[in-house]
A and B are shown apart, each in its own frame.
Chain A
């Protein structure tokens, strides 16, 4: 079948990295992404299904890979050639519609789960991601054994599939995965927020960036940590509007975020740092500049959550050392501990959140696979072009 796939090619990755400097289209043309014939993935035994893609989103991590910016960290955790696409709503051979929880966990790889009822993302040993019955791959969309959403179909294990009701539109369902990422990041703020000691004001969580991940994080914060004051730096008008709609209390221009946090907290400014700051800052961008900004505006003993995939960054960590700031990554989903002590799967929470907020408002455009150059360019410039989520559409009849 014909699909979009990425092959290991140092030369093409290098070319993409250079070309990305002037044009996302050029990077896509010169880079490692190809639209062509692939070997159809095999079903790997019981519990495996063919999933026919209906919509598959283009994520920031996909763009990093296509533009050659992904870290060499992934060299041992992915297997080539792979079909990208981990934000997926699809249907099984029997017509059942599903969303994909993309992590290729223990069950999918035929290994014992770390505990009963574990989600694919659970567990403190990632050996299974590079071993077991499948080739290495942190998740569907980075593993040559399964295929991915940027193809007419791929294979997935029962443990990865969530049946969705008929009244849930595809445009909403395809956003469940990024919503899960946002909910997970939001819940990582909970322990620090719980230790907020100042009774005179609510805890403050700052969010850097209001693309898909920033917006889903805001939604998660408002839903699961309702008492926090959410302060957001957003660049584009539609992002500001959605940020407010999803529950942000204060939405400002990116360069005004530290000021807004200071206002919310009522602290001083000492050099580049706030004297206190946000209890938690969630960096949904992931650059040297945003991580630096996050460290500057987070209170001593506060937490910085890195949601945007950072690759290599250059940051002065003296402030982190002095202020005893926690730096926490936020990649995956699994089993969440809610503030009330209960435990829920992130994807269940995400489906609830997506339905409640009708997150299809973030869905902006869908392209056929053959138009991938336009699609990638649109996704790479989504904010500037008034868009949030760009997808590939593989529904029959399209």
Chain B
């Protein structure tokens, strides 16, 4: 029986806590008697018969006809799927998307459907490399569809392949992939790693254009989402749902497939990363030392290669299919069941170790903008109820934060860092002054469409993603980060955790309460 999440009150006997530190980790001793550590629940049992569960979901959908009943000869069928940003780390082959799509294709073939196309739902993310598509879909699907041009990647900058579906009463325009919009049936295959994934966000975001996305990917929406993981208090969620309503009336018929994973995140020899430190055995300590020293000694590039090569053992805990909202309700409950940890009250200081990976640097570099986004956008928002840290409190992250960017994946990030952050770190101001220029820059468009670059506007979205955290926290400190880079982000650099706590004392006093959120594995703090 997996143990639930756990909040450890730190005392003098508590061993040092592992903090992620980019492509490495550090052991930190948190002050006794006023610190606590939030640990994720242990992985729930995975479904044994995954293929059977998929088949069952397709044949017994929620509030919808079974998939075979919706398939007919001569129809136009489109299968969209989540891109490389999910899951994290990538899962062992066969990927769930492959397993699900293979069964959808089998049912389509049985029904005599011969107009089938697959679309990677990139939104404004970079295109997936061939090896990533093969990993997600398997060689059989890739070889059958890609050479014939039937496996494509959503292009949010191709006006000929976008369809305008309408406008919400709030004035939000909905423009999505034309092939998907004009299909008789759109099957969307999700991997719901966190509670905000899926639902109408799949289509209203994953298959949308900048024209559409700007209505919810903006500072106002992000600041009003408390949090992204709590759909009842998320403006982002509400905007996507309003768009969904228009899509339901004017868009294609959608067959939504959503899946949840357990928190079995790290394989051997990295299992110790998921364990609670006081339960480490000699083997865990040895593996920690060995991997820690190795990662420290090898060049950054090599450390990155080692860590991005990790294939997680996480596996399916639930699959549901059918009508978008009904499916997503069940999915969200299943995500909560795996990830929720009850936490009593807020804290003065929230600490978090920023790992080597986030949704936007798979096989790439965690650049400074993504460090900010991972800390204040993702980890800060891993709550329901209220933030783990009190308003005006301090957020302390650990990450080397080098001034490094992947020139192919993140070209506009480099300019954003040099140009926009030199001008302002205020999301509202940069939104007004700079966003349009980057969004409409022809060179970024070219790279997004033809290379493997995130869209020109993407660094803005990453910055907005952290705007609620920035607005809420009184100070943000990065331990071990490159000082110049950290200052450019508008944060305070500190050499050690003790230095950071000393700096934080200006804001929260000499004896603050401290909460460390130990993730990954993923968790959602249910703050009472």
Residues of A within 8 A of B (CB): 250-253, 256, 259-260, 262-263, 266-269
Contact = CB atoms under 8 A, between A and B. Distances in A.
Nearest to A268: B443
Interface string B410-442: 000011001100100000000000000100011
Given A268-B443, A268-B446, 11 more contacts: A251-B422, A256-B414, A259-B415, A262-B443, A263-B419, A263-B437, A266-B442, A266-B443, A267-B442, A268-B442, A269-B443
B419 A260 contact: yes
A276 B370 CA distance: 31
Contacts of B422: 250-252
Contacts of A266: 437, 441-443
B443 A259 contact: no
Contacts of B441: 263, 266
A174 B441 CA distance: 44
Nearest to B422: A251
Contacts, number: 30
Query: Chain A's interface: helix, strand, loop or mixed, by majority?
Result: mixed
Contacts of B419: 250, 252, 260, 263
**Residues of B in contact with A, size category:** 10 to 19
Query: Chain B's interface: helix, strand, loop or mixed, by majority?
Result: helix
Nearest to B441: A266
Contact of B418 (A260, A267, A269): A260
Contacts of A263: 415, 419, 437, 441
Which of A262, A263, A267, A268 has the most CB atoms of chain B within a 10 A radius of its CB?
A263
A219 B522 CA distance: 53
Nearest to B443: A268
B443 A252 contact: no
Contacts of A259: 414-415, 418
Given A250-B419, A252-B419, A267 B414 contact: no
10 contacts: A252-B418, A256-B414, A259-B414, A259-B418, A260-B415, A262-B443, A263-B419, A266-B441, A267-B442, A268-B443
B443 to A, nearest CB: 5
A256 B418 contact: yes
Contacts of A256: 414, 418
Contacts of A251: 422
Interface string B272-294: 00000000000000000000000
A238 to B, nearest CB: 14
Contacts of B446: 268
A262 B442 CA distance: 11
A263 B442 CA distance: 10
Contacts of B443: 262, 266-269
A250 B446 CA distance: 24
B128 to A, nearest CB: 23
A268 B414 CA distance: 15
A259 B416 CA distance: 11
B413 to A, nearest CB: 11
A256 B437 CA distance: 18
A102 to B, nearest CB: 37
Nearest to A240: B422
Contacts of B414: 256, 259
A166 B441 CA distance: 52
A134 B414 CA distance: 56
Nearest to B403: A253
Nearest to A201: B437
A9 to B, nearest CB: 45
A263 B415 CA distance: 7
Nearest to B417: A256
A56 to B, nearest CB: 35
Contacts of B415: 259-260, 263
Which of B441, B443, B446 has the most CB atoms of chain A within a 10 A radius of its CB?
B443
A162 to B, nearest CB: 37
Nearest to A237: B484
A259 B410 CA distance: 13
Contacts of A268: 442-443, 446
A306 B177 CA distance: 50
Contacts of A252: 418-419, 422
Nearest to A256: B418
A266 to B, nearest CB: 6
A252 B418 CA distance: 6
A14 B277 CA distance: 66
Interface in B489-507: none
Contact of A253 (B418, B437, B442): B418
A263 B418 CA distance: 11
A263 B441 CA distance: 8
A256 B441 CA distance: 17
A246 to B, nearest CB: 16
A267 B445 CA distance: 11
